[in-house]
Amino acid sequence: MTLFIKRPNDQGMEITHATAPWKQWFADYGPKLLLCARQWTRSLADAEDVVQEAFVRYWRHQRDLPGDPQALLITSVRRAALDLARRNSRRTAREEFADGGLDEIVAVFAPLPGEGDERRQEIEVALRRLPSEQREVLVLKIWQELTFEKIGEVLAISPNTAASRYRYALAALRKELEPLCHG
Amino acid sequence: MDESLQNLENELKRLRPSVPSAQLLARLDAEFAAPEIARDRSRANGAEGRLIMGPWLNWRMAAAAAAVVAFSTVVITSRQSLRHDPVAPTTELPVAVAVALPVKPAEVPVARAANLASTNDRYHPVGATSVLYDFKEDSPVARTTSTPTRRVRYRYVDTYTWKNPATNASLKWSLPRDEVRVIPASLH
């Protein structure tokens, strides 16, 4: 997936990331960024602050930069989250960041119709129980559709480590969810 | 990856992240609306800056022209001093003593030249000073006339000040000036 696909607009013209209005762009990709930010912050409000900071910086100063804008934005979100944690006086910066957030019980996925929503809630609960380093890899892989190589760049880990964390995360989720599925 | 993990992966992919709150969108809206004002302001500042820079650029040219004029003045003065019998200073200044000698702007050709350049820029000369910071007496000079002479080198720093009354902006320009005088020597 790329965040910056060209798409035809109503007039049959193509809008690139450089010319598309930010609202359209944010409507498409803001939710994914917010989901990322939720992995590194302690509350939805903090996550939104972080997304705002990173997105504004990107849109104003970085969108014309060469390179992969998706990885740039996610890295920017992560750094903003780390900065926010540093500013927070409750704990030390490292403790805050490593804690992985999601203290606040707020849905991170859109509700699903009918019984599907129960399953969504179960998955959310299971996700919250994952170790933060596994959960962040899972989120980047599933919902940002990054390669393990890109995940490694964003998180400053090797691609192999990212891949193994991903497998551990899926296995842990399966373990959490199977009793609910089959029991 | 086994089939159950694959299924789980697909199930996860079907979940859509929650949309950001309306408050976040409103904040972003305000954030991106602000640059329009800032951009307009910066455009205005840019225009103002150009208006400010214009005279400064002109002043650079004026300063360069004034430097040429000043240099010519020094050379001409020196040559005239050599051609005509100069008048010796009534008092001798101690070496390395700086003396501020106020000079009327109208008497300074540099100021006059700059004044011409500044007419359109509304900068007016408001002051000029000439500071003698050193003088040195060279060895006696042998001249064709019978009068013994000595050559004295005076070293000045001339400072000219212009001011724009409208903006209260001012410009100071300093340049070194050497003046060589050949004066009659009294050998006792």
- What ipTM was reported for this prediction? 0.73
A52 contacts in chain B (CB < 8 Å): 24, 27-28, 31
A57 has a chain B CB within 8 A of its CB: no
Supply angle C-alpha A56, A136, B20, rounded to 5: 40
Q: How far apart are CA A76 and CA A74, in angstroms?
A: 5
Residue B72: closest CA among B152, B188, B177? B177
Report pLDDT digits (tens) over B152-170.
888 888 988 888 877 778 8
A107 contacts in chain B (CB < 8 Å): 18
**Per-residue tokens: B125:** 């000369």
Q: How far apart are CA A110 and CA A120, in angstroms?
A: 9
Q: Which helix (H) or strand (E) holds A92?
A: none
List beta partners, residue B170: B163
B15 contacts in chain A (CB < 8 Å): 109-110, 112, 120, 123, 143
Kindly give the confidence (pLDDT) of every residue in chain A, 183 residues in length, as a single tens digit, with 9 standing for 90 and above.
444 443 433 333 333 444 457 888 888 888 988 998 988 888 888 899 989 988 888 888 887 777 777 888 888 888 888 888 887 755 554 554 555 544 556 777 888 777 778 888 888 888 888 998 999 999 999 998 899 999 998 888 999 999 999 999 999 999 888 654 544
CATH architecture of A23-106: Orthogonal Bundle (1.10)
Q: Where in chain A is the domain with CATH 1.10.10.10?
A: 111-178
Q: Which residue of A has its CA nearest to B31?
A: A56
Q: Where in chain A is the domain with CATH 1.10.1740?
A: 23-106
How long is chain B? 188
Q: Can you give the pTM of this predicted structure?
A: 0.50
Report pLDDT digits (tens) over A23-37.
888 888 889 889 989
B31 contacts in chain A (CB < 8 Å): 52, 56
Supply angle C-alpha B26, A139, B7, rounded to 5: 125
Q: What is the DSSP letter of A62?
A: I
Q: What is the CATH number of domain A111-178?
A: 1.10.10.10
Report pLDDT digits (tens) over A82-93.
888 887 755 554
Q: How far apart are CA A60 and CA B138, in angstroms?
A: 67
Residue B127: closest CA among B69, B97, B171? B171
CB-CB under 8 Å, A173 with B1: no
CA atoms within 13 A of residue B74's CA, in its CB half-sphere: 17
Q: Which residues contact A69 (CB under 8 A, 6 or more apart)?
A: A3, A4, A17, A58, A62, A63
Residue A174 distance to chain B (closest CA, Å): 7
Estimate to the nearest angstrom the gap between the alpha carbon of B142 and the chain centroid: 42
Alpha helix positions (H), chain B = 3-13, 22-83, 109-118
Cβ-based interface (< 8 Å): residues of B facing A = 1, 4-5, 8-9, 11-13, 15-21, 23-25, 27-29, 31-32, 35
CB-CB under 8 Å, A52 with B15: no
